[in-house]
């Protein structure tokens, strides 16, 4: 049994509309593929509400609420609504939030302001913080150190190498590996996966993005998290069943999910 620690059931590749039939079909295929539960991640007020609604509909779906760094400019318009959702029973984390300096769709200063709010909220409501960090390691670690790292913090879709992994692990963070760990060019990511302590690794799809090999280029979905797990097992020289068991246990611990 697997846990997908980060997916977007409410999104379609290239689309922002919410398709309930599509979400239902993905949940059903995930169940058939042996996915015990999954975490549907919010990227703004609308998608966070949709994640909460899906978690209320399906026993094996949990939700997060947050504002993606791409949309950090919407902080003042959406923040009060996000705070109101953060105490929902099925909300298991705050985020994804952080920095994306690869695209910088929102100005860097606005990304930082929003990230600080998420760090503070995670600590206030005693939820894990789910971080998005792309081309922004120094800024991400600086804000975490200045605000204080929440007790449970996850680097979602970890794309760094061993040095970045050590910096995150030194702060007692979890590293969540996506389909990137299966990509031929991702040697640094696999090296990071190899050195991480067993109790600090997670697997995710980040669906509908970043489908793992051999499905790269297709719309991703939670049913394929086992392919990510197999690639992680290869990077760590571990048995696939062992990776399934330890990432499932890690997810239950970090998200506070008892099943």
DSSP string covering 199-245: GGEEE---TTS-PPTTSTTSPP-GGGHHHHHHHHHHHHT--HHHHHH
Phi-psi region of 98 (alpha: psi -120 to 50; beta: other; left: phi over 0): left
Please state whether beta strands 91-100 and 61-65 pair in parallel, antiparallel, or not at all (unpaired): parallel
**pLDDT for residue 19 is more than 80:** no
- 20 confidence band (pLDDT: 50, 70, 90): confident
Answer whether residue 18 shows pLDDT above 80: no
Name the DSSP letter for residue 15.
B
Pairing of strands 153-155, 129-134: parallel
Domain boundaries, the chain: 2-255
Q: Taking 70 as the threshold, does the pLDDT of residue 97 lie above it?
A: yes
Fold of the domain built from segment(s) 2-255: TIM Barrel (3.20.20)
Residues of the chain with pLDDT > 90, as a percent, come to 95
Is the confidence at residue 15, as pLDDT, over 70? no
Is residue 13 pLDDT above 90, yes or no?
no
Burial class (CB in 10 A: 0-12, 13-18, 19+), 170: exposed
Q: Is the dihedral of CA 38, 55, 85, 250 positive or negative?
A: negative
- Is the pLDDT at 80 greater than 70? The verdict is yes
What tokens does 214 get?
């051999």
- Residue 30 token pair: 């995930």
Band of residue 14 on the pLDDT scale cut at 50, 70, 90: low
Tell me the mean pLDDT in the region 161-178: 98
Instruction: Read off the pLDDT of residues 201-216 as tens digits, 9 standing for 90 and up.
Output: 999 999 999 999 999 9
Average pLDDT of the residues in 144-168: 98
Here the tokens at position 200 are 């600090």
Dihedral sign for Cα atoms in the order 223, 229, 234, 238: negative
Whole-number average pLDDT of the chain? 96
């Amino acid at each position: 049994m697997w846990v997908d620690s980060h997916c977007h059931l409410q999104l379609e590749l290239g689309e922002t509309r919410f398709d309930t039939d599509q979400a239902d079909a993905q949940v059903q295929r995930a169940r058939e593929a042996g996915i015990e539960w999954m975490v549907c991640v919010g990227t703004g007020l609308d998608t966070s509400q949709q994640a909460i609604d899906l978690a209320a509909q399906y026993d094996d779906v949990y939700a997060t609420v947050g504002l993606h760094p791409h949309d950090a400019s919407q902080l003042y318009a959406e923040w009060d609504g996000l705070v109101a959702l953060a105490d929902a029973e099925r909300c298991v984390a705050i985020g994804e939030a952080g920095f994306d300096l690869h695209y910088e769709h929102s100005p860097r200063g606005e990304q930082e302001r929003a990230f600080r709010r998420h760090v503070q909220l995670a600590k206030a409501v005693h939820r894990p913080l789910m971080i998005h960090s792309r081309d922004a390691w120094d800024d991400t670690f600086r804000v975490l150190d200045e605000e204080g790292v929440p007790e449970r913090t996850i680097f979602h879709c970890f794309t760094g190498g061993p040095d970045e992994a050590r910096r995150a692990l030194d702060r007692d963070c979890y590293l969540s590996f996506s389909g990137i760990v299966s990509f031929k060019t991702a040697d640094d990511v696999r090296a990071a996966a190899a050195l991480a302590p067993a109790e600090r690794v997670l697997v995710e799809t980040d669906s509908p993005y970043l489908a793992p090999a051999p499905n790269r280029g297709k719309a991703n979905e939670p049913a394929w998290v086992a392919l990510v797990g197999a690639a992680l097992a290869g990077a760590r020289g571990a048995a696939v069943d062992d990776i399934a068991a330890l990432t499932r246990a890690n997810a239950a611990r970090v998200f506070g999910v008892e099943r």
